[in-house]
Structure 1
Amino acid sequence: MTTPRTSDSGARILRVLKALKGYSLTGISNGELAKGLGESPANINRAINTLIAEGLAVKLDNGRFAPSIALLQIAQAHANEMGAAQHRINEINQRVLAGASR
């Protein structure tokens, strides 16, 4: 099986996106991202600018970077979908248990 070709810059952008997790309120600096990811600040700057251009990150008033509302909406939509699925599973389980007692 051959390994699929990937984009180094695309992978970097996705690593930066993942590194924004947990920084919705306070943000994280370019330097902190660079150090944490083992990348140069210039590479982080290009990646974060791409995320901002695509609406997935924002620069806060304090100069730090955070996930955008659009990204948080994606996460919330997933959480809602999983909650609805769990609700449906619970309903089915209740019916199964009710039928087992008859």
Structure 2
Amino acid sequence: MGAGDEVDFAHTDVAVRNRAAKARALAVHAWHRGLGGADLLALGDARRRDFARAAGVHPPSTLETWRAAELLDAKEAWAARHPGHPAAAREVPEERSEWI
């Protein structure tokens, strides 16, 4: 790397893995509260930050991390095909109304 070359940390393998892990944590938290992808995307910025904190992650700085919505849509489709599977269950769906 020459003088003046800058590393774009936002696009390193570590950054990509960190965003994916954060998206999964957000998706899991949303899933267990009965929220879908559209619900997450419909939240305003302040509510999304609150939601991220409630999920135990630092609020994402870009909408890119909110691809958790895509993960939720995939999980919803999977759960519809496997309704009796334990992973299709939601832990606290009564909390849905807190967020929407």
TM-score bin (small chain): 0.3 to 0.5
- Higher RCO, 1 or 2 (CA under 8 Å, sep at least 6)? 2
- Higher-Rg structure is 1
More strand by proportion, 1 or 2? 1
Q: What's the TM-score once normalised by structure 1's chain length?
A: 0.41
